[in-house]
Amino acid sequence: MAKTRGQFIKYSLLGFAIFSIIMGLAFWKIGNAQTYQAVHRQRFITSKASKIHLTSREKRVAKKYRLNRIQTRTATKISLTAIGDSVMVDVKPNLKQVFPHSAVSGSVGRQFYSLPKIVRQLKAHGHLAKYIVINLGTNGPPTKHDINSVLKTVGSKRQIFWINTRVPRHWQNTTNRLISQTAKKHANVHVVNWYRASKGHAGWFASDRVHVDLTGAIHYTHTLAAEIAKDLN
């Protein structure tokens, strides 16, 4: 009995050792594959960037907003529709400078429930661009019904870049969680993580800790341009 028990323990340990080796090799292969992909992508980006020659205007924009050549050229070329609240009003001049082919609509107090109608009207008149920027959530969280309505109107061929929020209100986390959940479910929805980018930078904001100052507007625009370039290249 003791011998049988000893053999059981022996073979169990052996089996565990073999399993550990197999799993280790599997994770090693996965890690190597991910490293290769990362290196290959970086080489591709470096090669692509080396072929871009910025104009004088683009160089000024790149310097002011700390953008690389790919980020700058991507922002220069694309047409986008940006819809937001009073924060969008703050950054409108910056967005127009970095994204010259943009239509920017910001309104004080605007909430997400107004977006479905706005998007429908823009689409009906042929004014809804392929790339859409949403900055809504400062004044209250969206509902799933309104989110689904917007997604249905926009369709799957347009790309949505949804900027999450930093606002000292109880709905901040709810809003950001809904944005994140929507992006995970829909391949054409991308999170622009202003909440993370602005963490620890109280100096970028006005006294209300919601609206950005001149420095904050530059960083806000940089965050958007960087995310768009990352997702489109």
Q: Is the dihedral of CA 81, 226, 68, 40 positive or negative?
A: negative
Q: In the chain, how long is the greatest CA-to-CA distance? A: 86
Q: Among 116, 59, 112, which residue's Cα sits nearest to residue 84? A: 112
Q: What tokens were used for 20?
A: 């550990």
Catalytic annotation on 208? yes
Cα–Cα distance, 159 to 133 (Å, whole number) = 9
86 catalytic? Reply is: yes
- Contact of 154 with 132, CB cutoff 8 Å: yes
Residue type, 12: S
Q: Which two three-digit tokens encode residue 82?
A: 């940006």
Residue 161 has φ and ψ, to the nearest 5°, of -115, 105
Question: What's at 24, amino acid-wise?
Answer: G
Catalytic residue among 86, 107, 114, 180: 86
Measured CA to CA, the distance from residue 214 to residue 172 in angstroms comes to 23
The helix-helix angle for 56-65 and 214-232 (nearest 10°) equals: 110
105 noted as active-site residue? no
From the candidates 190, 211, 219, 222, give the one annotated as an active-site residue: 211
Catalytic residues: 86, 208, 211
